[in-house]
Structure 1
Amino acid sequence: MVELVRAGRSPEELAKEFQPSAQSIRVWVRQADLDDGRRQDGLTSAERGEPARLRRENKILREEKENLAQGRGFLRAGDGSAEMKFRLIHAEKDHHDVSLLARVLGVSRQGYYAWAARQGRGPSTRTRRDAELTGRIREHHQASDEIYGAPRIHADLREIDGIRVGRKRVARLMRRAGLAGVSRRKGCRTTIADRQAVAASDLVKRKFSAVEPNRIWTADITYVPTWQGFLYLAVVLDGFSRRIVGWAMAEHMRTELVTDALAMAIHQRRPGVGVIHHSDKGSQYTSIAFGRRCEQAGVRPSTGRTGTCFDNAITESFFASLECELIDRRTFRTRSEAERAVFGYIEGFYNRRRRHSANGQLSPVEYEHRQTLENTQEGDYAAA
């Protein structure tokens, strides 16, 4: 049509012959003159198409931004670190603008480029240090039979390896490595009170701390499930160091179970007259036989209130550790198998190796040893 008009045909004549309106033909001719540079009083086709192109590109960018924003939900809580976001930007930078990716993921463009520059230099010093610490943490965690959490692992690193590191950093590295301590199970009732028995009064009143060994002993009974039935464990614990000084195991909960545990404590510790033996009001501890055994040894019986675990809190705390660190993690086919495991836990691990928060993260045996040395040194100094 443009060529025909330029050859001398009029728009009106062409409109009658080819159907388009004369006005449309005039618009086409005017636009062709603008595109060919024959006139300068308007926009060329390329200039007219630029806003439309920009609108199309903006629409595509908005769609990409929405898709990326939705994709942030696929980053798990632990993967939302700057490291993971920079890796995502690096993987998508050929398909999307880096500035857009950084804005959508909530990081800076400069941060990404700094991260990308570091990749050529290998892992950072902190990254290498974290890897070394994680290796030591894993070794200490395995040495504790995967029992220890961050506080005790932190103490191991400080005292055994001489590594000065924050506990929060240890917790972070353990969480990243999938390492954790253990937690306790639900229990069942082992305290059966004798309503006709006359129980001793409470001489402790929840003040379990002692200034020296063999001042306050606490005692209680728990159970260990096996395929043959329950194995019952009675313990005597020294409030000074939280050390188990006496224990006994049997397939019953009769009075001799607790008297055997008391006899072991007396034999091992040789206490002076007046050591307090504190327990709950279970029928074993309020029995005549147990009372006589205490009287013969110069032991002062003490009992807390029935159904109040806080009146015997430190023994309950030991049972919590025993249950979550040993019993809940093992299946015992026979009572003999359970006896060996409990013996190994008490005498091989808990008393001698397990760090206790009440002892400044020292084991009961080590705590008593250090206190004895300090007292000896103080005595020598006073004598001098």
Structure 2
Amino acid sequence: MGTQPCRRETTTVEGTWVLAEPAKCSYADDVTAAVTCPPDRSRALSASVAAKRLKKLECELGRQEKSLKEAHALIALLMQARGLMLGGRGKLHPPEVRRRVLRIIDEAAAAGARLSIACRLIGLSVRTLQRWRKPDSASDGRPTACRRPANRLDEREKTRLQELLNCSAFKGLSPRQIVPRLADQGLYMASEATMYRLLRAGKRTSPDREGRTRKQANRGRSASGPNQIWSWDITCLKGSGQRKFYYLYLVMDVFSRRIMGWRIHTAESARSAAKLIREVCRDNKIDPTRIILHADNGRPMKGALMLNTLRRLGIVPSFIRPRISNDNAFIESLFRTLKSRFFYPAKGFSSLQAAKAWVASFVGWYNGAHLHSGLGYVSADDRYFGRDAALLERRARLYERARSERPTRWTRAARGWPQAESPAIPVRTGTFRGLVLRPCASPSPP
């Protein structure tokens, strides 16, 4: 309670009554004064205290009724807002949703809810609601907006690019493969994203089956040059008859992903594998004592004849870790590329000679023409013979020149063509643990 001024009566020495100076009195002083003052004065003070307490209770009751009314309005708002997906910066709300939101918000405000709390409860801001009330903002203009970027292709360039994407020279290739091939020819026409947009506009699907290269942590020994780490494996090729298969033995250089040698047999055996390794080293004129040969734990890989051959040649055998499926990922990725080619015979090979002829053409394409995503889109031969650095540098100069000629077409820096990092593989050499891998120079091109 507030303090009230009052007058107090005192008695002097002569016994006469005088009035003291006004003083500030609290609620307790009012009660004390009502007791000690004369009867008429006490009744007046008691009535004043009661009136003040009544007024305070009436105010508190009004606030409680207002809060209860707002609570009922917010509960009704939540019931009406069921099924509405609102909020989120940049979210598109159709006109019918906007009208419904405005209606239920107005009803809640008329029922006693505060506008800020009602908007926050359904996930909108007051500013958004104010914008929706304007006649020119009754509907979202983004679906009907006509945006023409300043750096778009003109009709002549678009027609030329569509003809290039449909030509036979790039049949079966995705824009990720087409762009570096054009760069090697000294041409820049558009980015990969623009080519993909044109393919989608024409309702064409890209034959792209390769995922984007992900940078992996160094989880083993790195190959800093060719002929340091080889990987080999065997895969089945379906024959024409039921339960008839041919077995493709394949050796790959991990650093360049180049296929060093291959053979096709009708069965798996350690003798055929040992013969393949000897012939690959002889045909490529390679010193085998510099090589670590990585393989899985299959029977031909761990056969006694195969291990003895490796020891005589000076090759260090390495095997994948037990129950680890991706320790030989590079050659498994090669097999996936082999079997996902659009000209791979889905019904199988009619004979052993047909299988050998097809694999021979694939190896020539893979080593010399296929641009490997993990190598910065250069071929395996370019990487193996050390031609990739100059090739990537020419591409970078081409893009810088294209950007300087037409800067309005570029909203950011030109695409970089970095050289691929050295691949790593988890080498397990067993009794050969501790061997130091000696780097060797890039071999001379044939």
Per-residue CA shift, 1:261-298, capped at 9, x if unaligned? 31232123333313100000001010010011111211
Query: Is 1:180 matched up with 2:206?
Result: yes
The answer on whether the counterparts of 2:161 and 2:189 sit within 8 Å (CA) in structure 1 is no
1:245, 1:294 → 2: CA distance? Answer: 16
Which amino acid counterpart does residue 318 of structure 1 have in structure 2? Answer: L
Return the alpha-carbon distance in structure 1 between the equivalents of residues 184 and 198 of structure 2: 19
Question: Which residue pairs with 1:36 in the alignment?
Answer: none
Kindly indicate which of the two structures has a greater share of residues assigned to helix: 1
Q: Deviations over 1:290-329 (max 9, x none)?
A: 0111112111100002443311011111111001116755
Task: Indicate the residue corresponding to 1:257 in structure 2.
Answer: 272
The 5 Å alignment of 1:311-350 reads 311-325=327-341, 328=344, 330-331=346-347, 332-346=349-363, 348-350=364-366
In the alignment, structure 2 segments of 5+ residues that lack a partner are 1-94, 97-138, 211-217, 391-440, 442-446
TM-score (norm 1): 0.56
Of 203, 211, 214, the residue aligned with 2:224 is 211
CA contact (8 A) 1:211 1:240 kept: yes
Matched residue, 1:127? 155
The structure with the larger Rg is: 2
| Alignment equivalent of 1:232, drawn from 222, 239, 247 | 247
8 Å CA contact 1:149–1:182 kept in 2: the answer is yes
Q: In 2, Cα distance between the equivalents of 1:164 and 1:182?
A: 19
CA–CA distance in 2 between the matches of 1:159 and 1:295?
43
> Cα gap change, 1:256/1:173 in structure 2, threshold over 3 Å: closer, same or farther?
farther
Distance in 2 between the 1:208 and 1:352 partners?
A: 27
Using the alignment, how far apart are the partners of 1:258 and 1:335 within structure 2? 18
1:256 counterpart letter in structure 2: R
Q: TM-score normalized by structure 2?
A: 0.48
How far residue 209 of structure 1 moved from its aligned partner, in angstroms, is 4.2
Kept after mapping to 2: 8 A contact 1:152/1:361:
yes
- CA distance in structure 1 between the partners assigned to 2:389 and 2:190 by the alignment: 29
Alignment map for 1:282-361 (pairs within 5 Å): 282-325=298-341, 328=344, 330-331=346-347, 332-346=349-363, 348-361=364-377
CA distance in 2, matches of 1:363, 1:164: 22
Q: Say which SS state the counterpart of residue 212 (structure 1) adopts.
A: coil
Measure, in 1, the Cα distance between the counterparts of 2:383 and 2:258.
9
Structure 2 letter corresponding to 1:239: V
Distance (Å, rounded) in 1 between the aligned partners of 2:195 and 2:245: 38
Paired with 2:320 and 2:377, the residues of 1 have a C-alpha distance of 28
Cα displacement (A) at 1:248: 1.0
> Percent identity at matched positions?
23
What SS is found at the alignment partner of 2:382?
A: helix
Task: Look up the equivalent residue of 1:181 and give its one-letter code.
Answer: P
Distance 1:166 1:372 in 2: 21
Q: Deviations over 1:116-158 (max 9, x none)?
A: xxxxxxxx9623212211222233xx44651x32211221222
Choose which of 166, 172, 176 in structure 2 pairs with 1:138.
166
Check the 8 A contact 1:247/1:260 in 2, yes or no: no
Cα gap change, 1:174/1:161 in structure 2, threshold over 3 Å: closer, same or farther? farther
The 1-side partners of 2:342 and 2:276 are apart by 20
Q: Say if 1:154 and 1:170, in contact at 8 Å, map to a contact too.
A: no
Runs of 4 or more above 6 Å deviation: 102-105
Deviation at 1:357, TM superposition (A): 1.6
Give the AA of the match of 2:238. P
State the distance in 1 between where 2:201 and 2:346 align: 26
Q: Report the secondary structure of 2:187's partner residue.
A: coil
Change (3 A) 1:104 1:360: closer
What's the CA shift for 1:363? 0.6
Tell me if structure 2 keeps the 8 A contact 1:152–1:355. yes
TM alignment of 1:1-384, pairs within 5 A: 106-107=143-144, 126-139=154-167, 142-143=168-169, 146=172, 148-177=173-202, 178-181=204-207, 183=209, 207=220, 209-228=222-241, 229-272=244-287, 273-325=289-341, 328=344, 330-331=346-347, 332-346=349-363, 348-371=364-387
Whether the 8 Å contact between 1:249 and 1:257 is mirrored in structure 2 is no
Alpha-carbon offset, residue 350 of structure 1: 0.2
Change (3 A) 1:371 1:232: same
For 1:172 and 1:268, locate their aligned partners in 2 and report how far apart those are by CA, in whole Å: 46
Number of aligned residue pairs: 241
Provide the C-alpha distance between the structure 1 equivalents of 2:222 and 2:387, rounded to a whole number of angstroms: 14
SS at match of 2:328: helix
Partner SS, residue 214 of structure 1: coil
Q: CA deviation at 1:368?
A: 2.4
Give the match's secondary structure for 1:218: strand
Aligned CA distance change for structure 1 residues 163 and 279 (closer, same or farther; 3 Å): same
Relative to structure 1, the CA distance from residue 130 to residue 294 in structure 2 (aligned partners, 3 Å threshold; closer, same or farther) is same
Aligned AA for 1:127? E
1:269–1:208 CA distance, 2 compared to 1 (3 A): farther
Q: Which amino acid aligns with 2:362?
A: Y
Secondary structure, counterpart of 1:133 in structure 2 = helix
Partner SS, residue 163 of structure 1: coil
Q: What is the identity, as a one-letter code, of the residue corresponding to 1:107? A: T
* Separation in 2, partners of 1:372, 1:167: 21
